[in-house]
Amino acid sequence: MGSKSDWPVVKKAVDKLIELGIPYETHIYSAHRTPKQAEVFSMEAEKNGFGVLIAAAGMAAHLAGAIAANTTLPVIGVPLSGSALNGIDALLSTVQMPSGIPVATVAIDGAVNAAVLSAQILAVNNPELSEKLKKQREQMQATVLENDATLQTELL
């Protein structure tokens, strides 16, 4: 994440990774204030066993792009709200990457989806993780159908 103030949103991704049994690390690196540290981290990430990187930042939100410029691992950007533009600036900064340096971008403050997308990428070669994701989808479906049944009963 780009700043300690980003933790409340990033924690939601961490919670989902824990739920799925995916090992993780969290760090505070700024594309502007600690560019060398962000560069070293991203350049060594694959060697250090990472399969996907999530980068959350607000306002100018250059962190995901700076990370992606230094690795061929998939990078998922989480644009954060909290600016005068409520995260639209971060969204545009994260999603508008030059050809050849992609950043997958989730919704503003969409840390849970960043974790789920990370899991989906990792599940390509991990049948156990793939099964966990399928079970979560089944649980979501069951919850929606239960809610619909409750609604239909209330409408009678």
Same domain, 135 and 81: no
How many separate domains does the chain show? 2
Contacts 24+ apart (CB under 8 A), 126-130: 129/20, 129/21, 129/22
Same domain, 70 and 11: yes
Containing structural domain, residue 104: 4-125
Same domain, 27 and 103: yes
Q: Read off the pTM.
A: 0.94
Residue 149, phi-psi category: left (phi > 0), alpha (psi -120 to 50), beta (remainder)? alpha
Kindly give the confidence (pLDDT) of every residue in the chain, 156 residues in length, as a single tens digit, with 9 standing for 90 and above: 999 999 999 999 999 999 999 999 999 999 999 999 999 999 999 999 999 999 999 998 999 999 999 999 999 999 999 888 999 999 999 999 999 999 999 999 999 999 999 999 999 999 999 999 999 999 999 999 999 999 999 998
16: closest CA among 91, 137, 125, 118?
Answer: 118
Rounded Cα–Cα distance for residues 35 and 19 (Å): 31
